[in-house]
Structure 1
Amino acid sequence: MSKQSPPVIWFERLARGDVARVGGKNASLGEMVQNLAAKGIRVPDGFATTADAYWQFIDANRLREPITARLADLAAGKATLADTGEAIRSLILHGDWPADLAAAVGEAYAALAERAGHADVAVAVRSSATAEDLPDASFAGQQESFLNITGEAALLDACRRCYASLFTDRAISYRQVKGFEHMKVALSIGVQRMVRSDLAGAGVMFSIDTETGFDKVVLIDAAWGLGETVVQGTVEPDEYQVFKPLLDDRSLVPIIEKKRGQKAQKLIYATGEQPTRLVPTAKAERAAFVLNDAEILTLARWAVAIEAHYGCPMDIEWAKDGETDEIFIVQARPETVQARRAAGVFKSYRITQKGRRLVSGLAIGDAAVTGRVCLIESADDIGRFIDGAVLVTATTDPDWVPIMKRAAAIITDHGGRTSHAAIVSRELGLPAIVGTGYATELLHFEQEVTVSCAEGDQGFVYEGQATIEEEALDVAGLPATRTDVMLNLANPAAAFRWWRLPADGVGLARMEFVISNAVRVHPMALVRYDALKDEAAKRDIAALTAGHADKTDYFVDKLALGLARLAAALHPKPVIIRMSDFKTNEYAGLLGGAEFEPAEENPMLGFRGASRYYSPRYREGFALECRAIRRLRAEMGFKNVIVMIPFCRSVEEADKVLAVMAENGLKRGEDGLKVFVMCEIPSNVILAADFASRFDGFSIGSNDLTQLTLGVDRDSADLAELFDEEDAAVKWMIARVIAEARKAGAKIGLCGQAPSDNPDFAAFLVKAGIHSISVSPDSFIAVKRAVAAAERAQDEKEIHA
């Protein structure tokens, strides 16, 4: 060994330019120790063996020639991958340590123990290949890691096994796919003081949304015990999302997602031959979150600092020490999938004519495919896999990669968004659904299914072949417009899919969608829980609200989190959230709702919208809605949120609603709060000036306005030909209210379907002077172009006039 290349280097003497010497993983650890400790980011102490040390071990045992010969036989088809890997690993495992190399490792381990303050310090022994963590190759999990290793002899044995893991079947296969020459890749070993996360928790985080590439959130997965269960996908972890732009304000808590995972197992320390063991978690652990809000925000701030230092999105592993309550970063590498995705073009998928829903889980990617199920329960049976099939299994590890890349889609029982199955599926560009719980029990071999990851955070498996419509959306070169073109959004789970669209904000976010899908409980059933008569509903509500001492807090928490994702998607642009606009029959369908809703002959024109908010029947429920909006704006920091009141029949009703809102901490004008009103009743047009004196803006709901202007039930099949948003009477109403709003200095927009269906209607709105048009995301590009064309035509007409 040359003096210029010592066999062991401490992390604090390494930097990211040292990949050739110590591999990507160890170079990154050194980079963080050197540059990020001043920002409070803790990295466990440790050292790395060098690539030169690996080659010294190989040459001391005369292994280059036999390894090269085995690989040549594999390339020539004279040997199988399994036989080749096993033979090479056996050669390495039977190798002897050169005395000076063993001494160097032993001396470093003794020094690490002295730094830690006790002999036989427990360490993690991790592989770090010199070709890993590159922009186009992650090598995720290709080599082995060994945890809770104590003593010099056990450390040297673990290091030898790390060297051998450079030639696992999966590692050989991955290098072949990526075009790396086997004998030009060396292995460095990171020896890092163990964090006692077996007594607390650990996990993975990304400084970007892994499914959409949305760059304003940090995604954190967390489970009890050592972090390998999260990486390997053997548990369903907690999932947290934090909104990065608001993290600098320490008075805010911009956590926009908190999902409690099942966390059925945890990996802990063991004694004897196996240094770790998998055990069931306690009932209390499964019911609790691994991290509190302060810890979530700390990790998110660290992710932002690490991303800023490296200048690219990052994939980070963290661990919490159960003895000291300190949190540490144990690995950081560049994110390799979304970072390479083209910014200007993305695909949109729409699923129609779909069969019965069979199973659901977390969606990985945003595509959809059909195919036949190939159910494989054990890695021993992967030889049975059929190319182009939908792989269904309990979980995957790197041994599965050779068949994963031949699959049309992947479905697993276990795992979260940072599991092995999720990471590899993203890298391969495959749709995957992970953490389904029961896919291996509910799906069967050769069953025809549709795998849909195109409907938001949740992925669905449907029976049979659905119709899949694929559209390439190119936002590059879209023309600028004076008229704002905004989005109609309802589903928080799908909101981040559209962040690349150059929209001017969200013109309509429907609160009732969040209530029906995320909350699921009638707010009055939470306010009056003790008096509920429906015992079955009472039991269901008790299960949903477990962990909330005050059941109304459940409503506020769930609603605020759901709305936060909508508010975050296009922040800091305005997001107009319409307060709940259920009809009584829809409210009655919520858990516990039947006891609080009257039976109406015509709910469309009944007890809905503004009339509910000040009524004794619902006033306390509306107060919970106001609390959620207040939390969204004041505690999370989404000041871009505008509140909108639906179906407000009179100015007197407007005054009552505004008074109730003020009582609940939402006073128009205070802390920049703007309040809009829907224009969907003829009285809103007739008295537009009076409404404008009470509200900051209008949003024309053209469906209801058409219904009430023409006297046509919009849901009536018999009257369908009469329901026309472009009827002259309707257009007169729209033009009139636009003129009145502009005269009063109030903003006015439209959130109906007509501009999406007909460019001429968009032109009519532009000519009438509308400020904004809000459309469904899949219509955005067409409407944006139609509006630009209408503005050009209008400008040319004025020039020639």
Structure 2
Amino acid sequence: MNELIPHIAWFETLQRVDVASVGGKNSSLGEMIQHLAAQGVDVPPGFATTADAYWTYIDANNLREKVSLLVGDWQRGKMSLAETGQTIRTLILRGDWPERTANEIREAYRELSRRAGKTDSPVAVRSSATAEDLPDASFAGQQETYLNIRGEDDLLNACRRCYASLFTDRAISYRQTRGFDHMKVALSIGVQQMVRSDIGGSGVMFSIDTETGFDKIVLINAAWGLGENVVQGAVDPDEYQVYKPLLDNPALKPIIERKRGAKAIKMIYGSGETPTRNVPTSKAERAALVLSDDEIMVLARWATTIERHYGCPMDMEWARDGETGRLYIVQARPETVQAQRKAPEFRSYTIASKGKTLIKGLSIGDAVVSGHACLIESAKDIDQFIDGSILVTSTTDPDWVPIMKRAAAIITDHGGRTSHAAIVSRELGLPAVVGTGNATEILHTGQELTVSCAEGDEGMVYEGTAEFSVETVDVSNLPTTKTGVMLNLANPGAAFRWWRLPTDGIGLTRMEFVINNAIQIHPMALIHFDRLKDESVKQEIETLTAGYANKPDYFVDKLARGLARLCASTYPKPAIIRMSDFKTNEYAGLIGGADFEPSEENPMIGFRGASRYYSPRYREGFALECRAIKRLREEMGFTNAVVMIPFCRSVGEAKAVLEVMAENGLTRGENGLKVYVMCEIPSNVILAAKFAEYFDGFSIGSNDLTQLTLGVDRDSGELSDLFDEQDEAVKWMIARVIDEAGKAGAKIGLCGQAPSDHPEFARFLVECGIDTISVTPDSFIKVKKQVAEAEKAS
């Protein structure tokens, strides 16, 4: 070994081209310190041992040949993986430090402590394999990390344990699977000044949506204490999502998701033989969000800065110092799963029938799998796993990887989207439902299950074997059309699934879906909480609105963020948001709703839509809806949001609604605000020219228009044969309003079900000269082709 080659390199001297010398983690830390510090990205200082230091240690203890022989015996089946790994690790741990290497580590540690102004400054000791974090291999969690290491002797012991961790069972298995030569991979060690996140917070973030590959999102997970719990999935973290294209405007805060996690434990400093330990979090910590909005924005901007510098989506770890409040990036590596997916191709799953929902969690991946459960609660019992089963466990760490490879799907009690279970499941291409809370209590070995990760952010576990179909769609060869083809979307959690479709925007998003699922509470029950009579209802509202000083703010915040996810999926193309269109019986079904809704014989044509917005019964509730839209457009920046008014019976109602909107800061035409009206009542067709004076566009709701044109209750089983959106009278109404809108210079589209169920109906709409057709995502391809053929024929 050349004695002139240094065994220590300070981070600030390293760049990403130094992977062969100091591995992916350490070279990346140096790259950021050198090139991104000037752009505000903070990285804690430190130093790395080199690959030469590793080989010097191996050769000084005469281990190279011994290790090679042991690996060869395992490869030839003479030894088990466990025996091989244990024997090699023992050899390395019994080795002595070469004097020169030990002295260089000691001196560098003293200098790092001097820079920190402390004696025996606490450091993080991280392994950095010289082949890790390549574009197609993450090596996630393959080697060890040791936190809160103090003193020279403890540091040298931690470094020795890092060397030994190059030959854990999981690391040997991973290299073998990936085709890496075990004797050509060295280990560098990063020694980094500790961030006092033990009394602050920490987590992981990605510059891409980890499940769909949507590249305009920063995903941040956060928990109290040191970050190992988030990485390993031992804690259910907070989750934040930020829309990247709007980050350059300092006046905006495009935080489109802010979800509080359970955060039941946190890792803090220990002492002596136990440098770290887990303790329960306080009730206040569990109830609070780890990051403020300003901190979320700082991290999101750093993520985009790092991504821009590296030229690819990134996987990063961050920490917040509890003493200074400063944020730091402690690791950054290329994202390795979505980066390898074929961009124009994606799979679409459709579930035809399913059993009852057993549990829910976070959805990882985009597949549906049926099989039998295999419950394994401890890593020591993994030999009981049945190949091809659905693994059910509390949490996973790298020791679980060998059986995760043999699983059909994975379900865990704990963990977020950046946990070990989530990262490895993505890399293996397995669907996983993580953070269920109670899977190991409810499910049992041998139980027949269906795991669905194809219905949005929420992963579902159904009883029995579901019937489902899968279609692989290549969108690169779809024809272009003059007539816009848009999507009908309601579920914010599923919006990013469809980002690769070449849509012209969202033609209909139903506000009531967000209210029903994300908010659950009647807005008037939040405004007039004191009027509620049922104490159990009041307690339920108190629980849901915890963390909000003002209960109506809960409604505004949840609604704005839910709608923001939908707008983000298509920005800057329009997203047409229909204001709430519950019927009174549906409103009454919301928490606290029964105290504020009248009882009606026929809610379908009763107190709904526009008539509610200026009525004393609901005017205050509509004001909250307007506040949410105003925040969505002006504070978050989604100016592509178009407001649409449903069930507007008369021109007088149009005037009244626009006046109430203006009172609440939404004036048609200001800041580019467009207001559309649903065309679903015959009066909308008959007086189309007059309605066009008050609205920028029409969206034909063919379901209600058919019902009211034919006088047929669309929900009546007895009259189902008469309900036909392609009836001659209905088509006359549609053709008439398209013509009238065109004359008035107003936009007109159709968002009803007919084109989705009958793609040939699209031909009729094109012939009438419609501007846009909005369909369900699963029928987009068929309708797009039908529109292209119709345009060609005409």
Specify if TM > 0.5.
yes
The CA deviation at 1:4 is: 5.5
Q: Is this contact kept in 2: 1:236–1:415, CA < 8 A?
A: yes
**What percent of counterpart residues are identical?**
74
Amino acid corresponding to residue 364 of structure 1 in structure 2:
I
Residue 412 of structure 2 is matched in structure 1 by: 412
Is 1:403 equivalent to 2:403 in the alignment?
yes
Q: Secondary structure at the match of 1:766?
A: helix
Counterpart CA distance in 1 for 2:58 and 2:272 is 30
Per-residue CA distance 1:23-46 (angstroms, 9 max, x = gap): 011010000000000001000000
Q: Aligned residue for 2:385?
A: 385
- Could you say what secondary structure the match of 2:252 adopts? coil
CA offsets, 1:595-652, max 9 Å, x none? 1111111111111000000011100000000000000001000000000000000000
- 1:279 is matched with 279
SS of the residue 2:760 aligns to: helix
| Counterpart amino acid of residue 375 in structure 1 | L
Alignment partner, residue 798 of structure 1: none
**Post-superposition shift, 1:60?**
0.3
Question: In the alignment, what sits opposite 1:19?
Answer: 19
Please state whether the residue corresponding to 2:354 is helix, strand or coil.
coil
Structure-2 separation of matches of 1:138 and 1:758? 46
CA contact (8 A) 1:369 1:468 kept: no
Q: How does 1:178-217 map to 2 (within 5 A)?
A: 178-217=178-217
> Aligned equivalents of 2:494 and 2:603: distance in 1?
29
Distance between the aligned counterparts of 1:346 and 1:2, measured in 2?
52
Q: Which amino acid aligns with 1:479?
A: P
* CA displacement at 1:2 relative to structure 2: 2.6
- Offset at residue 755 of structure 1 (A): 1.4
Name the CA distance, whole Å, in 2 between partners of 1:695 and 1:611: 16
Identify the residue that residue 511 of structure 1 maps to in structure 2: 511
- Report SS of the residue matched to 1:414: coil
Q: Give, as a single letter, the amino acid of the residue that structure 1 aligns with 2:326.
A: E
Matches within 5 A, 1:411-450: 411-450=411-450
CA–CA distance in 1 between the matches of 2:180 and 2:41? 34
CA distance in 2, matches of 1:728, 1:351: 34
Q: Any residues of structure 2 matched to 1:634-649 within 5 Å, and which?
A: 634-649=634-649
Gaps of 5+ in 1: 795-801
Instruction: State the secondary structure of the residue aligned to 1:415.
Output: coil
Partner SS, residue 242 of structure 1: strand
Residues 483 and 773 of structure 1 are in contact (CA less than 8 Å); yes or no, is this contact kept in structure 2?
yes
349-358 or 123-132, which moves further after superposition? 349-358
Aligned residue for 1:759, secondary structure, equals coil
2:451 aligned with 1:451: yes
Which amino acid is 2:782 matched to?
A
**Is 1:690 aligned with 2:685?**
no
Aligned ranges 1:64-83 → 2 under 5 Å: 64-83=64-83
CA distance in 2, matches of 1:106, 1:444: 52
**Partner residue, 1:797:** none
CA drift of 1:429 comes to 0.3
Indicate the residue corresponding to 2:250 in structure 1. 250
Where does 1:702-721 land on structure 2 (aligned, <5 Å)?
Answer: 702-721=702-721
Q: TM-score, normalised by structure 2?
A: 1.00
Alpha-carbon distance in structure 1 between the residues aligned to 2:758 and 2:432: 37
- Amino acid corresponding to residue 452 of structure 2 in structure 1: S
What corresponds to 2:465 in structure 1? 465
CA displacement, residues 60-112 of structure 1 (integer Å, 9 cap, x when unaligned): 00001111111111011111100100000000000000000100111111111
SS in 2 for 1:298: helix
CA offset at residue 760 of structure 1?
A: 2.8
Match for residue 367 of structure 1?
367
Alignment partner of 1:658 is 2:658: yes
Structure 1 segment 239-388 matched on structure 2, within 5 A? 239-388=239-388
SS of structure 1 residue aligned to 2:427: helix
Where does residue 621 of structure 2 map in the other structure?
Answer: 621
Q: Secondary structure, in 3 states, of the residue corresponding to 2:581?
A: coil
Aligned partners of 1:404 and 1:151: how far apart in 2?
Answer: 38
User: Aligned pairs, how many?
Assistant: 794
1:433-472 C-alpha deviation (Å, 9 max, x unpaired): 0000100010001000000111110111111001111111
Q: 1:242 to 1:4 in 2, by over 3 A?
A: farther
CA distance in 2, matches of 1:366, 1:654: 43
Mapping of residues 485-524 of structure 1, within 5 Å: 485-524=485-524
Give, in whole Å, the separation in 1 of the partners of 2:729 and 2:358. 47
Post-superposition CA distance 1:106-136 (Å, at most 9, x none): 1111111111111101000000001100011
State the superposition RMSD in angstroms.
0.7
Structure 1 CA distance, aligned partners of 2:286 and 2:344?
Answer: 42
* Corresponding residue number in structure 1 for 2:790: 790
Structure 2 gap ranges (5+) = none
Match of 1:113 in 2: 113
**Structure 1 residue 757, shift from structure 2 partner:** 2.6
Matched residue, 1:91: 91
Paired AA for residue 181 in structure 2: E
Instruction: Give distance in 1, aligned partners of 2:757 and 2:265.
Output: 52
Q: Secondary structure at the match of 2:34?
A: helix
Please state how far the C-alpha of 1:271 moved relative to its aligned partner. 1.1
Decide which moves more: 352-361 or 207-216. 352-361
Q: CA deviation at 1:405?
A: 0.6
Look up the match of 2:586: 586
The residue number in structure 2 matching 1:47 is 47
d(CA) in 2 for partners of 1:402, 1:3:
40
Alignment-derived partner of residue 667 in structure 1:
667
> Secondary structure at 1:28's aligned position in 2?
helix
1:352, distance to aligned residue in structure 2 (A): 2.5
| Secondary structure of the corresponding residue to residue 183 of structure 1 | coil
Instruction: Give distance in 2, aligned partners of 1:231 and 1:377.
Output: 19
Deviation, 1:756, is 2.1
Give the SS at the match of 1:270.
strand
| Counterpart check, 1:38 vs 2:38 | yes
Kindly provide the CA deviation profile for residues 316-372 of structure 1, in whole angstroms up to 9, marking residues without a partner as x: 000000011000000000000001111111101122221111111000011110000
Could you say what secondary structure the match of 2:582 adopts?
coil
Please name the residue that 1:526 is paired with.
Answer: 526
The corresponding residue for 1:633 is 633
Paired with 2:357 and 2:736, the residues of 1 have a C-alpha distance of 47
Cα offset, 1:477, TM superposition: 0.8
Equivalent position of 1:799 in the other structure: none
Counterpart Cα distance in 1 of 2:101 and 2:539: 64
Question: Equivalent residue for 2:553?
Answer: 553
Please show how residues 138-177 of structure 1 align to structure 2 within 5 Å. 138-177=138-177
- 8 Å Cα contact 1:198/1:226 also seen in 2: yes
Give the corresponding residue for 1:763. 763
Distance 1:487 1:655 in 2: 29
Q: TM-score, normalised by structure 1?
A: 0.99
**One-letter code aligned to 1:682:** P
